[in-house]
Amino acid sequence: MRLRRKHKSPPVLSHEFVIQNHVDVVSCLVMSLLMGVVFEATTKKAIIFVAVQYNVTYTIDDSNEQFHFYDYGPKDIATIFFYMLIAINLHAVIQENILDKINRRLHLSKTKHSKFNESGQLAFFSLFSFIWGSSILNAEEFAMDLTSLWTEYPHCRMLFQVKFFYICQIAYWLHALPELYFQKIQKEDIPRQLCYICLYIIHISGAYILNFQRLGLILMVPHYLVEFIFHASRLFYFSDENKQKGIGCLATVCLTQAWMMWKFINFQLKKYREHVNNQIPKKKITNTKKKRTNQEPNRENCVNGAAKVEGEASPRIRKSKPV
């Protein structure tokens, strides 16, 4: 009988060791920070990582009603770091429990395998961000009143859901940078992925810091919907040999873009008509009754084609002579 060869574990702190055990290391960091909240001696320091900071409370004197808002500051870096660790754990859970099982059935090549994993992760995140962002817009009614985007700017105070949404967004895209190393992304794919990851980080962080949170939220929600359809179409493209599902997703993307353009054109035309109507001066319409100088005689006052004059006898009717 042949003895089975035991796989040698890679040396500690080597590249293979970090790649294979990075999820365990990250999980230990997350647990240690959560345990720090439990103990009183470390609560003040650990709470900076776990809880959302810079709470501002306003109280109305008449009704004693309190409103809780949030600001941003340097302590948000610690909070973003904590949720970046959580994003790494969620990335590994989706990869091991869903994407790897599908890859074993499809038997994809290395190039398609990498792109399938990329689209699978982004499809889950795009769908989650779209649902979460839509619920915030529905609750706060930012999209219903577009004037709230610029009235009383800068909007220095945020609601809890808005601030937490931005922290999770920044944390997710920051976690994508070390994932390029953990997932062993091919060298030719790194510049492309690095480009759009950095663009997401710059734009979302810029909207968060420059107090464009409402505008950024309204722009991100439809963007993530289109991103979800795009990455879902890529997944169907890799999994469907006949490419029928991919053609259907392409048609959905085109229809979605056409619908958004139609809504935008109608909105602009409506605003243009209102602007034109406001520019036209309102003329006072005076109703003047024109007197008829030449009035036609009434038929009742006419006999045999001759007009009947008041106070006078009617003209005699001529009798026709018999022939």
pLDDT tens, 9-23? 777 767 787 788 888
Residues 6+ away with beta carbon under 8 Å from 119: 231, 232, 234, 235, 238
What residues does 56 pair with on adjacent strands? 69
pLDDT tens-digit map of 102-154: 888 888 777 788 888 999 999 999 999 999 999 998 887 776 667 777 777 77
- Supply 87's token pair: 């994003």
pLDDT at 213 over 80: yes
Beta bridge partners of 306: 303
Compute the residue count for the chain.
323
The answer to whether 130 and 224 have CB atoms below 8 angstroms apart is: yes
* pLDDT recorded at residue 194: 93
pLDDT of residue 322: 53
Q: How far apart are CA 101 and CA 108, in angstroms?
A: 12
What tens digit of pLDDT does each residue of 27-37 get? 999 999 999 98
Structure tokens belonging to residue 22: 């990075």
d(CA 161, CA 167): 10
For 131-155, the DSSP string reads HHHHHHHHHHTTTT-GGGGTTT-S-
Per-residue confidence at 260, pLDDT binned at 50, 70, 90?
confident
pLDDT higher at 14 or 234: 234
Name residue, tokens 């243009």. 272
C-beta separation of 215 from 149 below 8 A: yes
Residue pair 165/217 in contact (Cβ under 8 Å)? The answer is: yes
- Of 108, 101, 99, 100, nearest in space to 241 by CA: 108
Axis-axis angle for helices 43-50, 15-38 (nearest 10): 120
Structure tokens at 19: 């790649």
**How many whole angstroms separate alpha carbon 78 and alpha carbon 34?**
13
Round to whole Å and give the CA distance between 164 and 83.
10
